[in-house]
Structure 1
């Protein structure tokens, strides 16, 4: 079992008289994993990085590193390094000097600096680029220089604040593979900030989904995608069809005026709920035999599938991802299985949600 390296306990961050940026945030970060803080702009994810790095102070609450309180520990005494969104490289220095900068500040021997810089550049596949000027490098190469500069100080935690956001789509995808491979090879803890859901799903061992200064849900990418805790998470992580429903009894839910078998339980009889079905879990076929009848409105070809928008008789929109082309204006049946239906309770805490999911396996 991995050891906890960072712990937040009821951390609040507030600037002046503004609303708190973080509201009683608590979580554990385990050693050697790739974590992602995911959420919209202004949700508090970069503030968490700054608190870990020591660039800002918590208003209240406690931050631990390897079991020791670090609220008052200065940034240069913390075993973390940060890769910033703009890389913050020195344009007048070559690659070697950029990577060596922190080591020179520490006044390490010249031979040791030489060895550490070459090793860091080898890790990010930039051996031979030591004399290259920063202005002569591509965006992806600059990002790797920034990572090498952070790694050369041998941190136990690497903080990455949206380091891929300035890259084009192809390079961004390539760098995702490189980052993930680098983290697994080094075995150190990465904490990565992004607002890109696909990036979070692709890179992470665990994701913290944030909104308005709170962690809405944490877990593996599969857990969060398959079992979102509320409408915000379901909407933010992937595409979702969300409709109002009523939990009739264990394993039986009603929505769109019909009752359906499901795999959810542990709720009150006739409790109002929200129902999520992912677009890829819906199949279209003949109206006869379909669980719902809908009318095809529009469709777009997305390369690997068609994105089809339909409406039912009550005006609910349904998005379907299908390899089969539909005909606009056609009435079709929607087909899905009980396990494709996910039921969300209003106001359920993450602890209550996790306990309910665990009860399904008992």
Structure 2
């Protein structure tokens, strides 16, 4: 695959304020759906604005199609942005909103009409050319904003939390539509969100950010199944995290017991953190469980019960189960060796990847 965007040791700092981006480097491949995922203030929107040309890097280099673009103005870059508030012109109808960029380029009227109709068809709004923006729903407005962006045929489409203002049902529907649109167009999407479910559902690749750094990158499955540290494990999905000791390859100790696992490549008796996802815990009888816990509370989440339990050492365990438990009862928790994920303290992503490769061989 061809690399279309790359950041090389990029730093962003405003005057004497805190550094927003801290020596960030990454590559974006053409034709994929990328997500920048992280909490507010982590730097993800700053990266988007740098790609668009709205914000300059303090240090480092940004490349687009192997050309350094630090000094290229926003209107000369082959990217378009869909903003969180859509930034539509309320005094213009749908056609004029979508055609705005083409008119600036002084394109022929017949060509503008053809391109606008094609763009509206792509976002499932054919025949809406004369509709006023005030007459449209939130999901329809978002489609108009996307049509206005793709009508300019950008190589990269930037999306800055465009689903955040929608209700849950519409947001879910738009996730499917955005993913389908990206695959049909074949252009690169870079999506910014703090919603981990959105990131997992739509992305080919995810960059998880925290405090101005990319702390882990990979496919949704990689990020979810193999979190590199406590932050990623806690931020991406629900997690049970406890302290433990890696006794040797494939043998770990936590909550006072030894368990077989599938991790390795660490020092003997090394302090570690243990992650077990709630859906990987099965409630059984105390004699059949690897852990014995007391059921504290439970909530019905529609597809499963979310059950909170406590072990003898006061560690809290969350379980996702399709079966209801009895509050106050003692139950067993069963899990397989592959359900245990072991995390080293302060391990870099490079060392983590190297360790994975070593015990996959």
| Pairing 1:110–2:109 present | yes
Q: How many angstroms apart in 1 are the aligned matches of 2:188 and 2:126? A: 24
- Equivalence for 1:155: 154
- 1:158-195 C-alpha deviation (Å, 9 max, x unpaired): 00000011111111111111100000000000000001
- What TM-score results when the alignment is normalised by the length of structure 1? 0.99
- Equivalence for 1:312: 311
- 1:264-318 C-alpha deviation (Å, 9 max, x unpaired): 0000011110000000000111111311111111111111111111100000000
Q: How many angstroms apart in 2 are the aligned matches of 1:229 and 1:262? A: 17
Q: Report how far residue 109 of structure 1 moved.
A: 1.2
Q: How many angstroms apart in 2 are the aligned matches of 1:301 and 1:356? A: 39
Q: How many angstroms apart in 1 are the aligned matches of 2:221 and 2:329? A: 34
Q: How many angstroms apart in 2 are the aligned matches of 1:240 and 1:302? A: 16
- 1:58-83 C-alpha deviation (Å, 9 max, x unpaired): 00001000111001011111110000
RMSD: 0.6
| Pairing 1:28–2:33 present | no
Q: How many angstroms apart in 1 are the aligned matches of 2:255 and 2:57? A: 47
Q: 297-306 vs 338-347, which deviates more? A: 297-306
Q: Trace 1:24-173 onto structure 2 (pairs within 5 A).
A: 24-173=23-172
Q: How many angstroms apart in 2 are the aligned matches of 1:113 and 1:303? A: 47
Count of aligned pairs between the two proteins = 361
Q: How many angstroms apart in 1 are the aligned matches of 2:49 and 2:335? A: 45
Q: How many angstroms apart in 1 are the aligned matches of 2:127 and 2:300? A: 44
- Equivalence for 1:231: 230
Q: How many angstroms apart in 1 are the aligned matches of 2:253 and 2:98? A: 60
- Equivalence for 1:262: 261
- Equivalence for 1:326: 325
Q: Structure 1: 5+ residue runs without aligned partners?
A: none
User: Which aligned runs of 4 or more in structure 1 are off by greater than 3 angstroms?
Assistant: none
Q: How many angstroms apart in 2 are the aligned matches of 1:326 and 1:268? A: 39
- 1:44-63 C-alpha deviation (Å, 9 max, x unpaired): 00000000000010000010
Q: 1:41 aligns to what SS in structure 2?
A: coil
- What TM-score results when the alignment is normalised by the length of structure 2? 0.99
Q: How many angstroms apart in 2 are the aligned matches of 1:177 and 1:241? A: 30
- Equivalence for 1:4: 3
Q: How many angstroms apart in 2 are the aligned matches of 1:32 and 1:214? A: 24
